[in-house]
Chain A
């Protein structure tokens, strides 16, 4: 018996004995089934939420990377190669001449390119699905 237990008096000992003799209540089997079912359901739900969160994080990272790639492609490859494309943009306003293309104009152009690319991908995918059906 542990030293800190307060079994120091007859009253206490009697109480401890009484507690030992109190009837035990077995866990009802129906309750056990209910708890197990709910716990398993919650576990499955948590796993699903975790998977969705993971996909969102991955998708977000991929979108940022794609955005950066398109931006640099536009800035250093497409715009210098196709002057007619750069004529779509408003004047840069930069006097130093280091940045010949206005930033927000490029972002707008990039958004337009991504939107067109996304629409093209979606249509192709839809067509493929229809062909499979």
Chain B
């Protein structure tokens, strides 16, 4: 639910206090920008999309009823903006063999067993590349789950899917992400 600080902030924005905009940006600017930047890849596109998200949020703040937390409401706007903007964008999906995803064991990370300390940075870079290669909707769901620490129910609220659907999607996206990371690392080696 919305914290007391958030409630006060929202009340100030709804009352027309434009100084509260700055505080909202301070509180949520970096998390939203980070989320979008990881998914979109390009800095310019991420800046444009972040601007769209915040302007939409400030325009629609009067409609916020406090049924979900403020961050969930804000992430819903970010999700809708990103998905509608990049719906038609075809991402490069290096799955020549679709069944390759299924061969990834669910219990172990594909990169486990390697010298973790030496490969950590490469792994992080591979994850970032993999994220930017996922379809926008999938990248958003998995990032909201791991980065924004949103629960399955909150993700259902953000995306409009059912909770069980989100669980299935997360399972598939994780497998896809694992395959992508493995492929990226293999290509780099």
Contact = CB atoms under 8 A, between A and B. Distances in A.
Which one of A10, A14, A16, A19 has the greatest number of beta carbons of chain B within 10 Å? A19
Interface string B151-174: 111000000000100010011001
Contact of A14 (B18, B37, B50, B112): B112
Interface string A7-33: 001111011101111111111100110
Contacts of B58: 39, 42-43
A5 B55 CA distance: 32
Contact of B25 (A11, A35, A42, A43): A35
B102 interface: no
Interface residues of A, number: 33
Interface stretch (B2-10, B74-82, B88-96, B122-130): B122-130
B68 interface: no
A64 interface: no
Contacts, number: 104
Nearest to A21: B124
B106 A11 contact: yes
B22 interface: yes
Given A19-B127, A27-B25, A31-B47, A11 B55 contact: no
Contacts of B25: 27, 32, 35-36
Given A6-B170, A19-B146, A25 B151 contact: no
A122 B106 CA distance: 82
B59 A42 contact: yes
Contact of A11 (B146, B151, B170, B178): B178
Given A32-B25, A36-B21, A38-B55, A10 B47 contact: no
A129 interface: no
B51 interface: yes
Contact of A22 (B38, B59, B109, B152): B38
Nearest to B31: A24
Interface in B70-128: 105-112, 120, 123-124, 127-128
State the majority secondary structure of interface residues on A: helix
Given A11-B107, A14-B112, A15-B109, A22 B124 contact: yes
B147 interface: yes
Interface in A94-132: none
Interface in B16-57: 16, 18, 21-22, 25, 29-30, 32-34, 37-38, 46-47, 50-51, 54-55
Given A25-B46, A35-B50, A36-B22, 12 more contacts: A4-B153, A5-B151, A6-B152, A6-B171, A11-B109, A14-B109, A14-B111, A21-B124, A24-B34, A25-B34, A27-B25, A27-B30
Interface of B: 16, 18, 21-22, 25, 29-30, 32-34, 37-38, 46-47, 50-51, 54-55, 58-59, 105-112, 120, 123-124, 127-128, 143, 145-147, 151-153, 163, 167, 170-171, 174, 177-178
Which 8 A-B pairs have CB atoms at the shortest separation, nearest pair first? Answer: A27-B29, A19-B146, A14-B109, A25-B37, A4-B152, A11-B109, A27-B33, A25-B34
